[in-house]
Amino acid sequence: MKNYGLKNILSDLRINELNSGTSSGINWYDNSENILNSFSPVNGELIAKVKVTTKEDYERVINTCINAFEIWKSIPAPKRGDIVRKFGNKLREKKKSLGSLVSYEMGKSYQEGLGEVQEMIDICDFAVGLSRQLHGFTMHSERSNHRMYEQYHPLGLVGIISAFNFPVAVWAWNSALAWICGNVCIWKPSEKTPLCSIACQNIMSEVIRENNLPEGISTLISGDYNIGEWLTNDNRVKLISATGSTKMGSIVGAKVAQRFGKSILELGGNNAIIVTPHADLDMTIIGAVFGAVGTAGQRCTSTRRLIIHESIYEIVKNKLIDAYKQIKIGNPLNEKNHVGPLIDKSAVNNFKLALKQVENEGGNIIFGGNILKGESFDSGCYVQPVLAEAENSFKIVQKETFAPILYLLKYSKIEQAISMQNSVPQGLSSAIMTNNLRESELFLSHFGSDCGIANVNIGTSGAEIGGAFGGEKETGGGRESGSDAWKAYMRRQTNTINFSKDLPLAQGIKFNLK
């Protein structure tokens, strides 16, 4: 922690049990051999050792959640919303500390770490208002003196499986909505960012204790995919919200469906920006660079393909090269740097393999690709963002690589560009840069983008919490955050009330027992 004030940060987040075995870590285990080591990609140092959840621990957590649900669901939704409001206020108090921890443990820039915590605060605010609007619909019955309506009830236990790239925000997107809907949450975070989850759990636990509520409203389990499988296969967990790779999602989705559970899948993205001759190129470059190199290309919404009209291709390419030369890479806690490290050396290896495949398929790397070395990059996880000329049909272009690689592709007609945009297995985020009304409206029509998110003159990253977030095809079809995404955390019920003196039967059937 020496140069980053980590000791003070962890203390503020109540992660302060010092591990005597290291100079900078903390100990969250009881001398068990079954532990997670959290290494910072910023400098390669061991931050902490975290105990892996045992089967006995898991059963205790589940039983605690079941008991808590019976109490929590009986509390009126607006009062549940008030608890979420208090959680949001705690996040405001801890924003700098939690944002710093996100930056240090995950590797994203400090500003992005703060932004992630702000997303948590925003979804809490959204959920508080929503807690007074969990409405159904009233319909006219075809039978006289009958009233028919819909209402929503909580599901029960909600399992949340999150990924390393957004180690706190995605959990909050799910938990804030699940809580106001009356559910209790079990969180299985990425094994690559365990401290961030402990910090969040500590903050919510404080709110729960201060309001004399049962601890099972918010619970945490730690470990690798094996612990996630316990959640996935558990009939007592009614909904699994899983964020991660398409491979992971295909397994989770199948297992949950097999037991007739519900799932929200937020999986891979292979996002493109179409750049037309009518684009504002200054805006285009800003949006493309931010989308491609932000979080070192480790967002599901990262821009991976730039589909550029042939008439402006060379201009855009040269502007991008000039912009990439200005990118500052280094310690993400230094606000002067734009790009931090990849999450670990495995991600660096995937980066190198992707670049080799680009060249093997006939592509051309026109900028970047170096693995950075030296005292400032001693973790071995810092890479130089890449610009590569390629074809949309390349196998590597069809695949999502979690790294800062931007493929430049040419098109001649807008219909061709849209077809290229859609001709990948994933369908998360998309954008078009144009000041031409016809082009933008075509892109947004049913002839246009097949993604869950389609933007005009905005990049592929930076979704607002007010809109439902998610994508189609191999992205999984799930929706989180805003709009009516809350309905996924509840079960729908149709009610019919007969206040007449007769019992009319369906289809006019007569069934007289007098």
Nearest to 22 by CA among 42, 45, 56, 50: 45
Crossing angle of helices 169-180 and 77-93, rounded to 10°:
150
- pLDDT of 329 over the 60 cut: yes
Most confident of 23-27, 29-33, 403-407: 403-407
Taking residues 151-172, what's their average pLDDT? 98
Residue 500's pLDDT is what? 94
pLDDT band at 7 (very low <50, low <70, confident <90, very high): confident
- pLDDT of 26 over the 50 cut: no
Distance CA 416, CA 458 (A): 21
User: Tens digits of per-residue pLDDT, 179-188?
Assistant: 999 999 999 9
Which 3 state secondary structure label does DSSP give 371? Answer: strand
Longest dimension (CA), the chain: 93
Handedness of CA 189, 108, 482, 419 (dihedral sign): negative
Say if CB 110 and CB 333 are below 8 A apart. yes
- Residues with Cβ within 8 Å of 424's Cβ and at least 6 positions away in sequence, in order, are 270, 272, 305, 392, 397, 398
Nearest to 476 by CA among 161, 106, 124, 108: 161
Write down the catalytic residue from 200, 300, 381, 451. 300
- pLDDT of 69 over the 90 cut: yes
Distance CA 369, CA 470 (A): 30
User: Tens digits of per-residue pLDDT, 288-320?
Assistant: 999 999 999 999 999 999 999 999 999 999 999
Residue 279's pLDDT is what? 98
More confident residue, 375 or 432: 432
User: Tens digits of per-residue pLDDT, 71-109?
Assistant: 999 999 999 999 999 999 999 999 999 999 999 999 999
Average pLDDT, the chain: 94
How many other CB atoms are found less than 10 A from the CB of residue 99?
24
b/e code 181-207 from CB counts within 10 Å (16+ = b): bbbbbbbbbbbbbbbbbbbbbebbbeb
Q: Tell me the residue type at 150.
A: E
How many other CB atoms are found less than 10 A from the CB of residue 223?
23
Burial (CB count <10 Å: 0-12, 13-18, 19+), residue 283: middle
Q: Give the CA count within 13 Å in the CB-facing half-sphere of 233.
A: 8
pLDDT band at 509 (very low <50, low <70, confident <90, very high): confident
The string of DSSP letters for 124-185 reads: HHHHHHHTT-----EE--SSTTEEEEEEEEE-SEEEEE--SSSTTHHHHHHHHHHHHTT-EE
Say if CB 480 and CB 123 are below 8 A apart. no
Say if CB 165 and CB 511 are below 8 A apart. no
Among 31-40, 254-263, 380-389, 486-495, name the one with the lowest average pLDDT.
31-40
Residue 23's pLDDT is what? 30
Residue 33's pLDDT is what? 67
Catalytic (active site) residue 112:
no
Residue 514's pLDDT is what? 64
User: Tens digits of per-residue pLDDT, 336-384?
Assistant: 999 999 999 999 999 999 999 999 999 999 999 999 999 889 999 999 9
Taking residues 1-27, what's their average pLDDT? 60
Taking residues 490-507, what's their average pLDDT? 92
Catalytic (active site) residue 206:
no
pLDDT band at 19 (very low <50, low <70, confident <90, very high): very low
Q: Give the CA count within 13 Å in the CB-facing half-sphere of 283.
A: 17
User: Tens digits of per-residue pLDDT, 444-465?
Assistant: 999 999 999 999 999 999 889 9
pLDDT band at 270 (very low <50, low <70, confident <90, very high): very high
Residue 375's pLDDT is what? 86
pTM as predicted: 0.95
Distance CA 451, CA 429 (A): 6
Q: In degrees, to the nearest 5, what angle opens at C-alpha 123 toward C-alphas 119 and 126?
A: 140
The bridge status of strand 146-154 relative to strand 138-139 is antiparallel
Distance CA 87, CA 91 (A): 6
Distance CA 403, CA 116 (A): 19
Which 3 state secondary structure label does DSSP give 425? Answer: coil
Residue 223 φ/ψ region, left for φ over 0, alpha for ψ in the -120 to 50 degree band, beta for the rest = left
Distance CA 113, CA 98 (A): 8
Handedness of CA 287, 346, 21, 191 (dihedral sign): positive
Q: Specify the DSSP class assigned to residue 330.
A: S
Say if CB 324 and CB 289 are below 8 A apart. yes
Write down the catalytic residue from 105, 116, 266, 400. 266
Chain Cα centroid distance, residue 204: 19
Distance CA 446, CA 436 (A): 18
- pLDDT of 21 over the 90 cut: no
Report the length, in residues, of the chain: 514
